[in-house]
Amino acid sequence: MTSKSKVLVSTVLPSDLLARIEAEYEVAQFPSSHVFTADSIGDHSDIVGWLTTVKQPVNADILSQLPSLTTVSNYAVGYDNVEVGEATERGVQICNTPGVLDNAVAEVAVGAILSSVRGLSRAERFVRAGEWAGGNAFPLTADVHGKVLGILGMGRIGKRIAPVAQALGMTVLYHNRTPIAGVVPGDATHVSRSELLERSDVVLLLVPLTEETKGFIGADDFAAMKDTAFFVNPARGALVDEDALIAALQTGVIAGAALDVMTIEPLPASSPLMELDNVVLLPHIGSATVETRRAMADLAVDNLLDSLAGSQPRGAVNNPSVGAPA
């Protein structure tokens, strides 16, 4: 009897999906909170596949300890936890879960826009604190209708948000390095980065996190925005100079922000963001629905099994056979 090759699963999967993997491979399963290092991966140096999350670094040090590894399937659309170039050179296929979480993230982004501009989170706290019952009036906020939404990074998620914003009466601007050909959803207009910052009442960040985009938004960008503008980030915390954002919120350089992501997650209780009333703080819930997480798990398992079987995975990030992006 031939022994099965070994696969490492660093997250909790539905039982039927885990069974699909176990039908073909020996599985070692760990929760996503268990983060391996180059020194602690030794017992699993024989793995051929790894299904993991963005909490797990997959860097040169880790990869050097995994000579049999051929596939890493990220249970996420992001893959900033992976040194893709290093993996490609080593012949390791990297996969992610694009597309299946676009609607869920778009919903949270629209909710964050409404919550920041209309003060919904502040209003809820106002009621719970007994201010309304005490005869106080909640301060007036601003209309969303008639405002300008600027999308930095018009990709799949932005294309879902733009028509919703248009339906709410917003004018939509966007900035990509290369303008989109043809009609853009929401009648969005391509403008320069500087024009978008200057004109927008809400700046929505949807740029993927790479080595090139770390610190993509900083003090100069906040200074270029209107002092009545709101900044919304459902993408990645490391895209933003968080200290600069905190300073901008504290000093009124911008009116407010809504964040589903932060530089350190979970957000420490000691973070100055916790003390600010003009920021909406969410616990990284962009993809956190039953339906979306199931779809992500389905695709992550499909990617893993397809790649290990020698087929092209739907969520391929790179192409190790030619040493280039997929």
Catalytic-residue membership of 44? no
Contacts with 128 (C-beta within 8 Å, 6 or more apart), sequence order: none
DSSP H or E stretch at residue 112:
helix 102-118
Nearest-angstrom CA–CA distance, 113 and 165: 9
Cβ proximity of 189 and 176 under 8 Å: no
Nearest-angstrom CA–CA distance, 176 and 191: 8
Residue from 34, 124, 125, 265 carrying the catalytic annotation:
265
Half-sphere CA count of 2, side-chain side, radius 13 A: 5
CA 299 to chain CA mean position, Å? 17
Catalytic-residue membership of 86? no
Instruction: Tell which residue, 156, 155, 159, 157, has the closest CA to residue 172.
Output: 159
Let me know how many helices (H) and strands (E) the chain has, helices first.
Answer: 10, 14
Q: DSSP for 32-50?
A: TT----TTT-GGGTTEEEE
Nearest-angstrom CA–CA distance, 276 and 14: 39
Nearest-angstrom CA–CA distance, 319 and 94: 8
Residue from 44, 122, 175, 236 carrying the catalytic annotation:
236
Catalytic-residue membership of 284? yes
Residue from 90, 118, 284, 314 carrying the catalytic annotation:
284
Any idea which residues carry the catalytic annotation? 236, 265, 284
